[in-house]
Structure 1
Amino acid sequence: MDTIIILQMVAAALIAAAAYTVIGIAPGTDETATIAPVTLALVLSGLHPAVILSFFMAAIVASKLTDSIPVALAGIPGGVMATPMVEHAMVLKKHGMSDLSIRKMASGSAIGTIVAVPVSLLLASALIPVADVIKEYANPLFLIGAVFLALMSKNRWLALASIIPLALLIQGLRHLYWGVGAVATGTNVFVSFFLGITIGPVILTLFELLNKEKRDQLERFDKKTIYLNKTTHTNGIPNPFQILTKQELGLSALASLIGSVTFIMSPVGMTIFLGEVFSSKVKDPVKKASLSIACMEALANATYIAGTLIPLIALGIPLSPMAIGPANALFNAPPVFTLEHNMHHILTNSWFVWATLIGAVIALTMTYFITIKYSGQICAFVFRRIPHEAILGLFFSLVLLLSYMDAGWINVGGVLLIGLVAGVLHRLGVNYGVQFMVLYSAPWIITKLVG
């Protein structure tokens, strides 16, 4: 292997771990909105695919380790996947155990990483012989996935009803671009539409601020007071196998295994479901909360890792909510990556293994140590000095730039339209997974409708 590329992979993993340790703590910074645009920019920059994969793996491990810190200390989720832990974390905070909550969540996340990485690599290898069969039915599978995720969501009938209208909007814009000559490959515009869905809630909120009546109705504060419980430091090197009880350790490992195998299902849905199932027989509120958050964090991290690696290594097409969401640029980022030519076709198995191990190990050791030791100080710094609006504004500007690069000025308007619709649907209960599946299956759906 090329020593220079290995060193670049290590450097990329260190940068990702450092950056997303901070970004993960910032409230409201969803994983898709913060990781996907940066990954796309790296792909378009021409970096070696193994370096990008190493960066990505470190980013998701670090963000999943740290997004639980504001939950434990202030009841504010760092990202969407941390939301199911709020109720249980507040139980521990009520009993003055915020430091325990942080250690349990971080340790559960560490177990999820330790289990998911080898399981994902092995399962991906096992699926390679049937990859051609799966890819042959990719388009109907995307539609089936959209329907399946819609049925799993809270507002299932609304989610189901939105599939065809959203597909019409996506294909209608592509046809418009091609018709007016805005871009010769207008029918293939994908990346910017994906990003429009990703930051849809942000776009919707920004447009709402242009409404004077809406602005006047907003509640205003001179200062926002957030109370952070003091945390105690762990002496020595933190060890998840010592922090978790035998029951928590065993069930967290089992949750990680289940999450890795069911990578195609909704991470949020599986996290809530298994977290409650595993802790349902525990009566003591503190023990129940501790067990729930450990299992939930383990499962969440496992679904992110497996949902990226298995489709990427075995199939080369995104067939999981994670692959269609934050990891999408690894599969489809024209002109660098397409569904016919991406990391699946470029990297060998050894490159996949090394990139995954370097990214995951560096982020796990670095961020886990920082999370256990200095979570309170970091959380206080982020809350005081780094407004999440600034972070989201940075990613929003990046999306607009990439939209222009994708199909010119007309596409900036198109992405804003996609974002508005996606934001409204998301607010009404149609999750990202459904919308991303529709984005992929839109050409096939419209072809079947008009054919």
Structure 2
Amino acid sequence: MIGLLIQAILVAIIGGIIFSIIGVIPGTDETATMAPLTLVLVLMGFEPVVVFAWFMAIIVAMQITHTIPTAMAALPGSTMAVPMVHNCEIAKKMGIPHIAMRKLASGSVIGSIIALPVSLLMASILAPLSDIISQYSGLIFTIGAVLIAFMSKAKFGAVVSLIPFAFFIQGLQRLAVEATGGTLFISIFMGITIGPMIAELFNVLIPSRRELQHRTRPNEIWLAPEPKQKKKGFPNPFSYFTKNQMGYVAGASAVSACTFTFSPVGMTVLMGELLAPRKKELYDRTTTGLGIQDAVSNATYIGELLIPLVAFGLPLSPVVLGPAFPLFNNIDIHGALGIPQYLLYGFIGIICGALFAYPLSMKQARKWTAAMFRYVSHEALIGAFLGLICMLAFYEAGLFGIFVAVIVGLFGGILNNFFGIHTGVQFMGYYASTFIVAQMTALAQFLA
């Protein structure tokens, strides 16, 4: 027990440091960074509780530090930060980007603290339904895929695309059986993950698309000045909100932690637009909205991880179908831990994730943002993760696995970049593909 605790703390601290740095880099995708590194830990044989603590830490760390470029430069630090850009732009025009950043980071910590016990309580309430849900998992995946598809930019186009995408996935699985003797998971999963990147790289080979991406000079980015007053010691996240704002942040976090089927980005937008406009004064509305949005961002992530994990043992949420799927497909964590263990190792992850990320965000935001823009190449980061994903695909199925990952990535990336059918839709389509193909085949045979 003591050995596991020490191991979980060390791994969570390392994860917190790594993803504190990754979060500062603008435009980072959670699935493309969290999933492969988590899978590496799983394949190295770490105990489920250690991997769980790691994942909680990297959620918290990345969701805190993605506030730095978002608030300071109005560039989303990750895909989850996109809904916050508008309020951050308003904050910059008002001359309060440092206050916006503190509201975001503090809301993120508070949302995590509230979400852990609330989501575990909701999971306990829903657990008796696990057997019923397991029997209809294929139908549930399909319904979830349709709902998430319709909520995407492509609307009905995304819904219709689920059918050809399902046949595409099942066709590749058939080829995999012939080539390797079994179906694939890692290669297809990672292919969907890197899809947008693969499609962007493929554009270089097309003259018309390459011309659109051509730049004659480096982008210019202006950062807000460093705040003059700095607080000493570890910042208290609760001190950055008024009692009224704290009520909004806490309430939004608790509600969001109970959801497990909606898009985290969608919940962030929904709760921010629902609650923030209640404030009439611009400063109050903007800062309250930012606190709510980042709290909801973390709370939704944690709720969508824990409720399917604890209650059902099935990947029934966008978070689990993306960044957290290595916790489901590669280790048997459902039923292995009790609620007290989830609380203990969950809070270990939250504390270790915030230990480095939160003081960094509150005290070194501008310095680290400037360093990342100046010295870290986004292309180098993409290349590093592409290399890692190729390694994982090769581990599963050799060169054939790499071929599958690239093929899925190109097809999925085109759907994402050109038609707005994002990776969340594709992940749901992947897990619904068996049911969809079976039903379409049965329908064809019936009509014949």
Fold equivalence (TM over 0.5): yes
CA distance in 1, matches of 2:421, 2:218: 33
Q: Deviation of residue 57 (structure 1)?
A: 0.6
Query: Does residue 313 of the first structure (1) align with residue 274 of the second (2)?
Result: no
Which residue of the partner structure matches residue 106 of structure 1?
105
Which residue of the partner structure matches residue 243 of structure 1?
240
Which residue of the partner structure matches residue 445 of structure 2?
none
Q: Deviation of residue 127 (structure 1)?
A: 2.0
Which residue of the partner structure matches residue 201 of structure 1?
196
Q: Deviation of residue 300 (structure 1)?
A: 0.6
Q: 1:54-73 maps to which residues of 2 (within 5 A)?
A: 54-73=53-72
Larger mean CA deviation between 358-367 and 189-198 belongs to 358-367
Preserved CA contact (<8 Å) 1:183 1:408: no
Q: Deviation of residue 124 (structure 1)?
A: 1.7
Aligned AA (1:196)? G
Q: Runs ≥4 in structure 1, deviation > 4 angstroms?
A: none
Cα displacement string for residues 152-185 of structure 1 (whole angstroms, at most 9, x for unaligned residues): 2232111111100100100001111223xx2111
Cα displacement string for residues 30-85 of structure 1 (whole angstroms, at most 9, x for unaligned residues): 11111011011111111111111111110010000111110111111011110011
Aligned AA (1:444)? F
Please report the RMSD computed on the Cα atoms of aligned residues, expressed in angstroms. 1.5
Aligned AA (1:211)? I
Larger mean CA deviation between 197-206 and 405-414 belongs to 405-414
Query: Does residue 145 of the first structure (1) align with residue 144 of the second (2)?
Result: yes
Query: Does residue 301 of the first structure (1) align with residue 298 of the second (2)?
Result: yes
Which residue of 423, 430, 435 corresponds with 1:439? 430
Q: 1:266-285 maps to which residues of 2 (within 5 A)?
A: 266-285=263-282
CA distance in 2, matches of 1:38, 1:345: 24
Which residue of the partner structure matches residue 361 of structure 1?
351
Identity across the alignment (%):
40
CA distance in 1, matches of 2:278, 2:53: 40
Which residue of the partner structure matches residue 398 of structure 2?
408
Preserved CA contact (<8 Å) 2:260 2:308: no
Q: 1:164-243 maps to which residues of 2 (within 5 A)?
A: 164-179=163-178, 182-185=179-182, 188-232=183-227, 233-236=229-232, 237-243=234-240
Preserved CA contact (<8 Å) 2:67 2:361: no
Which residue of the partner structure matches residue 320 of structure 2?
323
Preserved CA contact (<8 Å) 2:11 2:54: yes
Q: Deviation of residue 221 (structure 1)?
A: 4.1
Larger mean CA deviation between 365-374 and 46-55 belongs to 365-374
Q: Deviation of residue 4 (structure 1)?
A: 1.4
CA distance in 2, matches of 1:94, 1:121: 40
Cα displacement string for residues 222-243 of structure 1 (whole angstroms, at most 9, x for unaligned residues): 4332111123253133222211
Q: Deviation of residue 210 (structure 1)?
A: 2.3
Preserved CA contact (<8 Å) 2:120 2:339: no
Q: Deviation of residue 398 (structure 1)?
A: 1.1
Could you tell me the TM-score, scaled by structure 1's length? 0.94
Q: 1:80-91 maps to which residues of 2 (within 5 A)?
A: 80-91=79-90
Q: 1:39-58 maps to which residues of 2 (within 5 A)?
A: 39-58=38-57
How many residue pairs end up in the alignment? 439
Preserved CA contact (<8 Å) 1:71 1:85: yes
CA distance in 1, matches of 2:150, 2:249: 27
SS at match of 2:221: coil
Aligned AA (2:384)? L
CA distance in 2, matches of 1:155, 1:444: 22
Preserved CA contact (<8 Å) 1:17 1:62: yes
**Structure 2 stretches of 5 or more lacking a match?**
443-448
Cα displacement string for residues 382-441 of structure 1 (whole angstroms, at most 9, x for unaligned residues): 111112221221111111111122222223222211111111111221122221111111
CA distance in 1, matches of 2:436, 2:368: 47
**Structure 1 stretches of 5 or more lacking a match?**
none
CA distance in 2, matches of 1:327, 1:348: 19
